[in-house]
A and B are shown apart, each in its own frame.
Chain A
Amino acid sequence: MSNREATDAERAGVGWLNSRRLYRIGVYVAMYGLAIAFFIPYWRMFQLSVTPMRVIAESGFHWIPPEFTFAVWRRFLLEEPIIYRWAFNTFLISSITTVIVLVVDSMIAFSITRLRWPGSRLIFGIIMASFMIPGYVNIIPLFTLINDLGLVNSYWAIILPFAAGPLGVFLLVQFFRDIPEELEEAARLDGFSPLRIYARIIVPLSTPILTALGLFVFIWSWNQFLWPLIVINRDTLYTLPIGVVTLRSVNALSPNVIMASLAIASLPLFVVFLLFQDKLISSVQMQASTG
């Protein structure tokens, strides 16, 4: 298209700096300008993490530090490996949550869209209505419940309430509804049980949506902040988002230490994002189209 625009312009005999080209330059300047602005916090995080504390204290603001060192990175990665423990906690919690959500949500979505049982519509209605309820309004009664169940300071305190959320049910019901019934008619006539239809037909056909939902749940679960802050207060059980906050208070006077811990804590999801960029972006878009 841009080629054709160019030839149109030439045909019209306009000079090099015609309005259309000026417009394109404007678009480039704006888009790259915004990208640079978006990039600044990343750069500051990285740059401060490799600047020696002496330089930060003595010579004020830099874009590029006069000298740099990976000492703080080494400290977190090699000498004080508590951050690995937190990464492990976070990874375990997010993975278990994701598996539970995918299994349990796809089962009920299958039940609602494919099997007839009394009350199913009403129950689906209630689940959908709960969609309007923002999670945070529940935290006080939920905390007393978790406390009564003796789950404070356990992974389950974070996993179970998250897995109770209705988003996945909602998305999967929308998707399963559009899978044509004919595909399973034959299987039914052959006497396939509901379990086999679910496992052999519905789940394989829904791999794209299940991947998208799984990715999304994993990231959301990984990044939870308020709830783990409430139910976890033992430092060996912290998740990364909580752990970095405690590192901040311990190292309040050393921005390089704080920034290095943040950069390291962000790396795992950055790698996930690099690997699944398109998948993740399409899962965001999918939510909007069904929401």
Chain B
Amino acid sequence: MDTRDAVAGVLFALPYLALFTVFLLYPLVKGLYMSLFEWNFLTPSKSEFVGLQNYAYLLQDPNFWNALFNTVEFVVLTVPLIVILSLVLALGLNKQLTGKRVLQFVYFSPYVLTVSVVAIVWEQMFAQGGVFTHYLGWLFQGSPLNSEFWAMPALVVTTAWWQTGFYFAVLLAARQNVPETLYEAARLDGAGPWRTLRDITLPHMKNGLLFVVIASTIFQFQVFGQPFLMTEGGPVGSTQTLVLYLYELGFQTRELGFGAAVGYTLLIVLVSISLLNYYLLGVGDE
């Protein structure tokens, strides 16, 4: 081993490693530590060790279960909507259309908006005098954001508008990577559009679709801005999500130890989901 290379290697790695250690690894370890205390923000040395009590309390807290349930509901509604919508857009735009670039711009552009802009615009869309109440007021009985039943779907629609463009771009690339010769062959065999879609297009887009499902699941699980800005978790806690719950514990009621325990629980849930996703969807066998 070349010592000059080794020294240079360490020096080149050092700046990132310093950032990584201080701002990622250290908080991760400290979070675990904090979660075992009744943490005192102003004088941390006065924090009281409580062992696993925060976790025990968490499991009995109906607000936690409500937040977990709402988050799962949000993910279960949002992910399929995003996957289907982005697939439709990608397959449609793969065809030769007039005005393709304009269409692509319109579908993709919401993705460059920040969540606060998205949430406030859509809050207006759903408010009294907005598009939805104007045309569908009879259905929502007022603003959907004030309805325990409709508030969550409203956040789902908002999120789909914001996020679909990103996944659409991924799937468009996946579709364009399917060799055209396969379609020629299918046409010679007389396969119809549905069979072509099922037997050629979708199987060959498997990796892209996998990425979309996994990435959007993980991302949507951390939903915060939409409920924080549009519904404040309401009405009656119906849109309270895990990260919102975490935020309130940490930065409004300053229950930092308990909040750290919530953070760790979220970590365990998310890592399990990604491992499960990888396992179930069979990324391993490639």
Instruction: Please list the residues of chain A having a beta carbon within 8 angstroms of any beta carbon in chain B.
Output: 1-2, 23-24, 27-28, 30-32, 34-35, 38-41, 44-45, 48, 56, 60-61, 100, 103-105, 107-108, 110-112, 115-118, 120, 123, 126-127, 130, 132-145, 160-161, 163-166, 169, 193-195, 198, 219, 222-226, 230, 240-242, 244-245, 248, 255, 258-259, 262, 265-266, 269-270, 272-274, 277, 280-282, 284-285, 287-289, 291
Contacts and interface: CB of A to CB of B under 8 A. Distances in A.
B121 A44 contact: yes
- Interface centre among B26, B97, B114, by most A CB within 10 Å? B114
B95 A27 contact: yes
Given A141-B260, A281-B104, 4 more contacts: A31-B103, A132-B270, A136-B263, A141-B27
B107 A35 contact: yes
Nearest to A3: B96
B112 A140 contact: no
B103 to A, nearest CB: 5
B120 A258 contact: yes
A111 B127 CA distance: 54
B266 interface: yes
A130 B24 contact: yes
Contact of B264 (A48, A137, A245): A137
A163 B108 CA distance: 26
A230 B212 CA distance: 29
A285 B170 contact: yes
Interface residues of B, number: 96
B12 A198 contact: yes
B246 A139 contact: yes
B105 A130 contact: no
A130 B17 contact: no
Q: Which of B10, B13, B95 has the most CB of A within 10 A?
A: B13
Contacts of A35: 102-103, 106-107
Interface in B1-55: 1-2, 4-10, 12-13, 15-17, 19-20, 22-28, 30-31, 34, 41, 44
Given A115-B5, A273-B109, A104 B247 contact: no
Contact of B129 (A61, A163, A198): A61
Contacts of A28: 97
Nearest to B102: A35
B122 interface: yes
B117 interface: yes
A14 B7 CA distance: 75
Interface string B138-171: 0000000000000000000000010000100110
A138 B117 contact: no
A39 B110 CA distance: 9
B12 A288 contact: no
A2 B100 CA distance: 15
B9 A120 contact: yes
Question: Which of A1, A27, A285 has the most chain B CB within a 10 Å cutoff?
Answer: A285
Given A44-B130, A139-B263, A198-B12, A241 B270 contact: no
Given A136-B224, A288-B170, A281 B19 contact: no
A164 B24 contact: yes
Nearest to B29: A141
Interface string B76-90: 000000000100110
Contacts of A164: 19-20, 22-24
Interface of A is mostly: helix
B266 to A, nearest CB: 5
A112 B121 CA distance: 45
A60 B129 contact: yes
Contacts of A244: 116-117, 120
Contacts of A169: 16
Given A44-B124, A105-B16, A116-B2, A138 B24 contact: yes
A137 B96 CA distance: 44
A269 B112 contact: yes
- Among B105, B108, B121, the most chain A Cβ lie within 10 Å of the Cβ of B121
A132 B12 CA distance: 24
Nearest to B98: A28
Nearest to A240: B114
Interface stretch (B58-66, B194-202, B214-222): B214-222
Q: Which of B15, B117, B229 has the most CB of A within 10 A?
A: B117
Contact of B9 (A115, A133, A270): A115
